[in-house]
Amino acid sequence: MTDTSHRHPRLTAGHRGRPQGRAARAAALSLPEVVALILSAGWLLLVGWFFLTLDPQEARLTRASPLAATFTILGVLLPVALVWVAAAVARTMRTMREESARLQTMIEQMRMTWLDGGQGAPAGLPPEVEDRIDRMSRAQDALAAEVAAMQRPEDDDAALTRLRPRLRLTESMQPGLALEPTERDADPLPPEDFIRALDFPANERDAEGFRVLRDALRHHPTAQLVKASQDLLTLLAQDGIYMDDLSVHRADPVLWRAFADGTHGSDVAALGGIRDRSSVALTTGRMKDDSVFRETVHHFLRTFDRVFADFAETASDTEIMRFAETRTARAFMLTARVAGTFD
């Protein structure tokens, strides 16, 4: 028979090298396994020394003492077993962290490929699947926030006093709304209308959305925030950043209330719920290079800080969570993260 080993040099070499690969992997012990090995060896040496130095008469196990023999065996082997169980758990956790990081990297790469390609989606994730995953993530975050709100006691003063105010800032629908605030203040807006107005009409056929928006423009503080939000959303749209495309990681309403009371920095960092890397990178770059954009962002943040503080005084936790889904709140999450509000 003809020798075919020369036709498949890689296959032959692979079979010859496989035991070496196994040996290399076996030799590559993780830190928990090395610690477990040292502890096991130390324990067995200690046990061996104990029995070697024990009086032979006391060390003898007879048929009359099976229970003593059982407990002796357990006393020797159980600590070793527990050490290796802990090592296995540590290795499993490390593997899960590595897999989670790898999966996150793959998802980000596919998202970037989709954003850069413009036409075709990545081979691994069709657009409809990615949209479904985003919706599931939003629903999970919403459920977690609802549960946290229900579990929290009615009196949140103790929680809020731990987040002491450290600094206080002082002083869009997408393009084409041509909004101008009126000079006359009306009665305070109901929270429902305030939330709806700052989310802007869904489209040009959203008659109810435009009605609420007109009412909001008669309320001077709300009109200021609407105008500032519209200006900012218009500039963000020039870079292809649309609030409807961004997924939101919800924060507990108690953090929003702490922010309304003047707490900034890392204590309320969870409010920066927009984590889309491409949008953050584009916004950061424009903040550095575009002075008009930078001034627009700072004006928006000042206005948001003042108007939201008034809204939070009377809003319920559910209304605050609904407000966090609006286009204006998403613009705040993105630009406040870039501006360093949560640093």
Mean pLDDT for the stretch of residues 110-135: 58
**Burial profile 248-277: b = 16 or more Cβ within 10 angstroms, e = fewer:** bbbbbbbbbbbbbbebbeebbeebbbbebe
Q: What is the tens place of the pLDDT at every residue in 259-307? A: 998 888 888 888 888 888 888 889 999 999 899 999 999 999 999 999 9
On whether the CB atoms of residues 232 and 293 are closer than 8 A, the answer is no
Mean pLDDT for the stretch of residues 172-201: 65
**Burial profile 133-153: b = 16 or more Cβ within 10 angstroms, e = fewer:** eeeeeeeebbeebeebbeeee
164, burial (CB in 10 Å: exposed 0-12, middle 13-18, buried 19+)? exposed
Q: Angle 77-82-86 (CA atoms, 0-180°, nearest 5)?
A: 150
On whether the CB atoms of residues 197 and 216 are closer than 8 A, the answer is yes
pLDDT at 10 over 50: no
What is the secondary structure of 187-207 as a DSSP string? Answer: SPPPHHHHHHHHH--SSTT-H
What is the secondary structure of 250-293 as a DSSP string? Answer: ---HHHHHHHHTT--GGGGGGG-----HHHHHHHHHHHHH-HHH
Task: Provide the pLDDT for residue 228.
Answer: 93
pLDDT band at 224 (very low <50, low <70, confident <90, very high): very high
Q: How far apart are CA 92 and CA 65, in angstroms?
A: 40
Please report, for the chain, the start and end positions of each structural domain, with discontinuous segments joined by +.
Answer: 10-117, 128-339
Task: Provide the pLDDT for residue 68.
Answer: 73
Beta strands in 194-249 (DSSP E): none
| pTM of the entire predicted model | 0.49
C-alpha dihedral (202, 206, 207, 213), degrees to nearest 10: 0
Q: What is the tens place of the pLDDT at every residue in 155-174? A: 444 444 444 343 333 334 44
Query: Other C-beta atoms within 10 Å of 105: how many?
Result: 10
Distances (CA, A) of 287 to 120, 236, 293, 297: 30, 11, 6, 8
Per DSSP, 145 falls in state: H
Q: Work out the percent of the chain whose per-residue pLDDT is above 70.
A: 67
Task: Provide φ and ψ at 118, rounded to 5°.
Answer: 80, -35
